Amino acid sequence: MDVFIIGITGGIGGLLARRLRSRGDVVHGLVRRDDQQAELAPLGVNARVGDLSSMTVEQLAAAFGVVDVIVFSAGSNGGSREVTTAIDGDGVVKAIKAARLAGVERFVLVSVLPESWRERNLGDEVECYFAVKKGAEGALSRSDLNWLILRPSLLLDGPGIGTVSLGPAEFHARITRDDVAATLVELIHEPRIGRQILELNTGTTPSEEAVRANVCS
Protein backbone atom coordinates (compact mmCIF):
# COMPACT_ATOMS: atom_id res chain seq x y z
CA MET A 1 0.00 0.00 0.00
CA ASP A 2 0.92 3.65 -0.40
CA VAL A 3 0.67 5.42 2.97
CA PHE A 4 1.20 9.06 3.96
CA ILE A 5 1.90 9.73 7.65
CA ILE A 6 1.41 13.13 9.27
CA GLY A 7 3.46 12.88 12.45
CA ILE A 8 6.04 10.52 11.01
CA THR A 9 8.77 11.86 13.32
CA GLY A 10 6.65 11.16 16.41
CA GLY A 11 6.66 8.08 18.61
CA ILE A 12 3.81 6.23 16.91
CA GLY A 13 4.42 7.62 13.42
CA GLY A 14 8.06 6.56 13.34
CA LEU A 15 7.30 3.04 14.52
CA LEU A 16 4.43 2.77 12.04
CA ALA A 17 6.68 3.85 9.17
CA ARG A 18 9.24 1.18 10.00
CA ARG A 19 6.63 -1.54 10.30
CA LEU A 20 4.99 -0.58 7.02
CA ARG A 21 8.34 -0.50 5.21
CA SER A 22 9.25 -3.94 6.57
CA ARG A 23 5.96 -5.19 5.13
CA GLY A 24 6.84 -3.78 1.72
CA ASP A 25 4.54 -0.76 1.74
CA VAL A 26 5.46 2.61 0.23
CA VAL A 27 5.66 5.25 2.95
CA HIS A 28 5.55 9.04 2.68
CA GLY A 29 5.52 11.59 5.47
CA LEU A 30 5.53 15.24 6.39
CA VAL A 31 8.56 16.64 8.23
CA ARG A 32 9.45 20.18 9.21
CA ARG A 33 13.20 20.16 8.52
CA ASP A 34 15.62 19.03 5.83
CA ASP A 35 17.68 17.03 8.33
CA GLN A 36 14.60 14.98 9.26
CA GLN A 37 14.03 14.27 5.59
CA ALA A 38 17.63 13.09 5.28
CA GLU A 39 17.32 10.85 8.35
CA LEU A 40 14.27 9.07 6.91
CA ALA A 41 15.72 8.58 3.43
CA PRO A 42 17.84 5.49 4.35
CA LEU A 43 14.65 3.83 5.64
CA GLY A 44 13.08 4.23 2.20
CA VAL A 45 10.65 6.90 3.40
CA ASN A 46 9.75 9.64 0.93
CA ALA A 47 9.45 12.62 3.29
CA ARG A 48 8.20 16.03 2.18
CA VAL A 49 9.31 19.15 4.05
CA GLY A 50 6.55 21.45 5.28
CA ASP A 51 4.94 22.94 8.37
CA LEU A 52 1.40 21.67 8.90
CA SER A 53 0.38 24.80 10.79
CA SER A 54 1.40 27.19 8.00
CA MET A 55 0.80 25.13 4.84
CA THR A 56 -2.28 25.85 2.76
CA VAL A 57 -4.77 23.14 1.95
CA GLU A 58 -3.50 23.15 -1.63
CA GLN A 59 0.12 22.76 -0.53
CA LEU A 60 -0.76 19.88 1.76
CA ALA A 61 -2.78 18.16 -0.96
CA ALA A 62 0.20 18.45 -3.31
CA ALA A 63 2.41 16.90 -0.62
CA PHE A 64 0.00 13.97 -0.28
CA GLY A 65 0.11 13.16 -3.97
CA VAL A 66 -1.56 9.91 -5.00
CA VAL A 67 -1.70 7.60 -1.97
CA ASP A 68 -4.07 4.96 -0.62
CA VAL A 69 -4.42 6.21 2.94
CA ILE A 70 -3.48 9.15 5.15
CA VAL A 71 -2.60 8.49 8.79
CA PHE A 72 -2.72 11.49 11.12
CA SER A 73 -0.67 10.67 14.22
CA ALA A 74 0.69 14.14 14.99
CA GLY A 75 -0.15 15.72 18.33
CA SER A 76 0.84 18.37 20.84
CA ASN A 77 0.61 15.95 23.80
CA GLY A 78 -1.18 18.55 25.87
CA GLY A 79 1.17 21.46 25.20
CA SER A 80 0.19 25.10 24.87
CA ARG A 81 -3.31 25.96 23.69
CA GLU A 82 -1.93 27.60 20.55
CA VAL A 83 0.05 24.52 19.48
CA THR A 84 -2.76 22.14 20.42
CA THR A 85 -5.28 24.10 18.37
CA ALA A 86 -2.92 24.45 15.40
CA ILE A 87 -1.96 20.75 15.24
CA ASP A 88 -4.63 18.61 16.92
CA GLY A 89 -7.53 20.77 15.79
CA ASP A 90 -6.95 22.99 12.76
CA GLY A 91 -4.31 20.57 11.45
CA VAL A 92 -6.81 17.73 11.26
CA VAL A 93 -9.43 19.90 9.57
CA LYS A 94 -6.86 21.09 7.05
CA ALA A 95 -5.75 17.51 6.37
CA ILE A 96 -9.35 16.44 5.79
CA LYS A 97 -9.82 19.19 3.19
CA ALA A 98 -6.47 18.36 1.59
CA ALA A 99 -7.38 14.67 1.41
CA ARG A 100 -10.55 15.54 -0.47
CA LEU A 101 -8.62 17.80 -2.83
CA ALA A 102 -6.01 15.10 -3.46
CA GLY A 103 -8.69 12.46 -4.02
CA VAL A 104 -7.60 10.31 -1.06
CA GLU A 105 -10.64 8.63 0.50
CA ARG A 106 -9.12 6.72 3.42
CA PHE A 107 -8.13 8.70 6.51
CA VAL A 108 -6.99 7.25 9.85
CA LEU A 109 -6.84 9.53 12.90
CA VAL A 110 -4.92 8.54 16.02
CA SER A 111 -6.81 10.23 18.84
CA VAL A 112 -7.04 9.66 22.59
CA LEU A 113 -9.28 7.74 24.97
CA PRO A 114 -11.69 10.23 26.58
CA GLU A 115 -11.09 8.66 30.00
CA SER A 116 -7.34 9.26 29.89
CA TRP A 117 -6.05 10.85 33.12
CA ARG A 118 -9.56 11.63 34.35
CA GLU A 119 -8.54 10.46 37.80
CA ARG A 120 -6.06 13.32 37.95
CA ASN A 121 -6.44 17.04 38.53
CA LEU A 122 -5.77 18.24 35.02
CA GLY A 123 -4.66 21.75 34.14
CA ASP A 124 -6.40 24.02 31.66
CA GLU A 125 -4.01 23.21 28.82
CA VAL A 126 -4.58 19.45 29.11
CA GLU A 127 -8.34 19.98 29.31
CA CYS A 128 -8.00 22.06 26.15
CA TYR A 129 -6.13 19.16 24.55
CA PHE A 130 -9.01 16.75 25.19
CA ALA A 131 -11.59 19.23 23.94
CA VAL A 132 -9.65 19.91 20.73
CA LYS A 133 -9.15 16.17 20.15
CA LYS A 134 -12.91 15.63 20.48
CA GLY A 135 -13.58 18.44 18.04
CA ALA A 136 -11.22 16.87 15.50
CA GLU A 137 -12.98 13.53 15.87
CA GLY A 138 -16.29 15.24 15.19
CA ALA A 139 -14.96 16.96 12.09
CA LEU A 140 -13.62 13.73 10.66
CA SER A 141 -16.70 11.67 11.53
CA ARG A 142 -18.92 14.19 9.73
CA SER A 143 -16.76 14.16 6.60
CA ASP A 144 -17.47 12.11 3.50
CA LEU A 145 -14.13 10.31 3.76
CA ASN A 146 -13.71 6.62 4.55
CA TRP A 147 -12.46 7.48 8.04
CA LEU A 148 -11.26 5.52 11.02
CA ILE A 149 -10.59 6.93 14.50
CA LEU A 150 -8.30 4.96 16.81
CA ARG A 151 -8.25 5.91 20.50
CA PRO A 152 -5.28 4.30 22.26
CA SER A 153 -4.92 4.16 26.02
CA LEU A 154 -2.10 5.90 27.94
CA LEU A 155 1.00 5.57 25.78
CA LEU A 156 4.24 3.96 26.96
CA ASP A 157 7.64 3.57 25.33
CA GLY A 158 9.44 0.25 25.01
CA PRO A 159 8.81 -2.95 23.08
CA GLY A 160 5.26 -4.13 22.58
CA ILE A 161 3.87 -7.44 23.78
CA GLY A 162 2.05 -8.17 20.53
CA THR A 163 -1.39 -8.57 22.08
CA VAL A 164 -4.13 -5.97 22.54
CA SER A 165 -7.77 -5.37 23.33
CA LEU A 166 -9.59 -3.54 20.53
CA GLY A 167 -13.22 -2.57 20.21
CA PRO A 168 -15.82 0.21 20.27
CA ALA A 169 -15.42 0.59 24.06
CA GLU A 170 -12.33 -0.35 26.07
CA PHE A 171 -11.11 0.32 29.57
CA HIS A 172 -8.39 2.90 29.99
CA ALA A 173 -5.04 1.51 31.11
CA ARG A 174 -1.70 1.59 29.30
CA ILE A 175 -0.32 0.41 25.97
CA THR A 176 3.02 0.74 24.24
CA ARG A 177 3.40 2.89 21.15
CA ASP A 178 4.86 -0.21 19.50
CA ASP A 179 1.61 -2.14 20.00
CA VAL A 180 -0.37 0.84 18.71
CA ALA A 181 1.78 0.93 15.57
CA ALA A 182 1.40 -2.82 15.07
CA THR A 183 -2.38 -2.49 15.33
CA LEU A 184 -2.41 0.44 12.92
CA VAL A 185 -0.58 -1.65 10.32
CA GLU A 186 -3.30 -4.29 10.51
CA LEU A 187 -6.07 -1.68 10.38
CA ILE A 188 -4.54 0.00 7.34
CA HIS A 189 -4.47 -3.35 5.56
CA GLU A 190 -8.08 -4.19 6.45
CA PRO A 191 -10.31 -2.37 3.92
CA ARG A 192 -13.50 -3.73 5.51
CA ILE A 193 -13.02 -1.50 8.55
CA GLY A 194 -14.18 2.05 7.94
CA ARG A 195 -16.31 4.82 9.43
CA GLN A 196 -15.71 3.39 12.89
CA ILE A 197 -14.32 4.59 16.21
CA LEU A 198 -12.20 1.94 17.88
CA GLU A 199 -10.54 2.06 21.30
CA LEU A 200 -7.28 0.25 22.00
CA ASN A 201 -5.82 -1.07 25.21
CA THR A 202 -3.34 -3.72 26.21
CA GLY A 203 -4.87 -7.19 26.13
CA THR A 204 -4.46 -10.84 25.26
CA THR A 205 -5.45 -10.97 21.58
CA PRO A 206 -2.85 -10.75 18.80
CA SER A 207 -3.24 -7.49 16.86
CA GLU A 208 -4.19 -9.19 13.60
CA GLU A 209 -6.95 -11.24 15.27
CA ALA A 210 -8.20 -8.20 17.20
CA VAL A 211 -8.56 -6.23 13.97
CA ARG A 212 -10.38 -9.08 12.18
CA ALA A 213 -12.81 -9.33 15.09
CA ASN A 214 -13.91 -5.74 14.43
CA VAL A 215 -14.84 -6.25 10.78
CA CYS A 216 -18.52 -5.45 10.41
CA SER A 217 -20.43 -8.28 8.75
Residue 58 to residues 70, 74, 86, 153, Cα–Cα distance (Å): 16, 19, 17, 34
What's the first-to-final CA gap in the chain, in angstroms? 24
| Contact criterion met (CB below 8 Å) for 179 and 207 | yes
Q: Out of 64, 72, 129, 130, which one is annotated catalytic?
A: 129
Residue 47 belongs to what H/E stretch? strand 45-49
Question: Is residue 29 annotated as a catalytic residue, yes or no?
Answer: no
Secondary structure of 114-183 in the HEC alphabet?
CCCCCCCCCCHHHHHHHHHHHHHHHHHHCCCCEEEEEEECEEECCCCCCEEEEECCCCCCEEEHHHHHHH
Give the list of residues 6+ apart from residue 172 with CB closer than 8 angstroms, or none: 113, 115, 116, 118, 153, 154, 201
Give the list of residues 6+ apart from residue 36 with CB closer than 8 angstroms, or none: 9, 47, 49
Residue (of 187, 183, 177, 180) closest to 68 by Cα position: 187
Indicate which residues carry an active-site annotation: 129
